[in-house]
Amino acid sequence: MQGKALKIEKLGWQPDSKKQPILSDVSTIFKEGGFYGIMGPNGSGKTSLIRHILRFLELEEGKISLENKEIKHYPRKQLATKLSFVPQNVNLEIDFTVYEIIAMGRTPYQKRFQALSKEDQKKIDDAMKITNCMSLKDRPFSYLSGGEAQRVLVARAIAQDTKYLILDEPISHLDIRYQVELMETLKQLNEKENKTIIAILHDLNLSAAYCKEIVLMRKGTIYKSGLVEEVLSKQNLKAVYDMEFEIYEAEHRKQRFYIPVLPF
């Protein structure tokens, strides 16, 4: 079990143009099977962290390893069979159908000039079922609403069939119903398929309800990480967001509510 994790060690990043480092001394571990929420104010380094994990940015300082092997030593194609990514806001003005977009998730497994195999097709179908995309199958991707498009991109990541799913603010621009729906899908993937979920989130209430662990970031460093109740405490939130919060427990169910105390 030791090796089955994504390990970040002393990750740092300071682009030449910046006076302050964007990331400094970031160390944490994402264990396989976990459901992690990365939280923190804007500019705290959340996106930079996942961009390093996905190798969109070249590692300059520190070490990132997956299953005991540094990610920079993985061929990109192999890495794509381990980590998948759901981007933030996508409006693609391209006339691919939903099915074609989801099928692209099979890219790392496909050989050149080969049609989709039986297995590819099954994975695509499964991904569409889990995300409820079956009815959208033949629709052009550019015609979808924000919520539908997000579902399709999650489906694509599922079709990619990786142990880790990394999501950049997957629910930030969805209405509340779609937010809950998507979090439910992620929960199902985590529990039934044993996928590791790593998602940048802003909503305290939904994060508390769905994540198992929280990585709370501030000014390019990890301020606290661990179990939800421990990390999302009044003191920690005050330190990170510079705001007071009230936290309430629901009476008959296990759910916590976070309410910011307004400055008037």
Using CB under 8 A, list all residues that contact other proteins: 54-56, 58, 75-81, 83-85, 87, 90, 92-96, 99-101, 104-105, 107-108, 110, 112, 160
Cβ neighbourhood burial of 55 (10 Å; 0-12, 13-18, 19+)? middle
Q: Which of 121, 132, 177 is nearest to 154 (CA)?
A: 132
Q: Which helix (H) or strand (E) holds 208?
A: helix 204-210
Q: Which CB sits closer to other proteins, 69 or 234?
A: 69
Residue with Cβ nearer other proteins (110 or 205): 110
Select 157 or 204, whichever has its Cβ closest to other proteins: 157
Q: How far is the CB of 61 from other proteins (least distance, A)?
A: 16
The least CB distance from residue 86 to other proteins, in Å, is 9
Nearest distance, CB of residue 258 and other proteins, angstroms: 31
Nearer Cβ to other proteins (118/192): 118
> What minimum distance in Å lies between the beta carbon of 89 and other proteins?
11
Q: Which helix (H) or strand (E) covers residue 151, if one does? A: helix 146-159
Closest separation between CB of residue 55 and other proteins, Å?
A: 7
Rounded to whole angstroms, the Cα distance separating 22 from 31 reads 24
Q: Across-strand partners of 226?
A: 214
* Shortest distance (Å) from residue 174 CB to other proteins: 19
Shorter beta-carbon distance to other proteins: residue 196 or 225:
196
Is residue 196 a contact partner of residue 164, using CB atoms and an 8 Å limit? yes
Q: Are 90 and 149 in contact (CB under 8 A)?
A: yes
Least separation in angstroms between residue 119's CB and other proteins is: 17
Q: Which residues, at least 6 apart from 24, have a Cβ–Cβ distance to it below 8 Å?
A: 12, 13, 14, 220, 221
Q: Whose Cβ is closer to other proteins: residue 115's or residue 262's?
A: 115
In this complex, which beta carbon is closest to other proteins, that of residue 12 or of residue 108? 108
The helix (run of H) or strand (run of E) holding residue 83 is strand 83-86
**In 3D, which of 129, 132, 104, 133 has the Cα closest to residue 116?**
104
Where would I find the H helices in the chain?
46-53, 76-79, 98-103, 118-130, 146-159, 176-192, 204-210, 228-231, 234-241
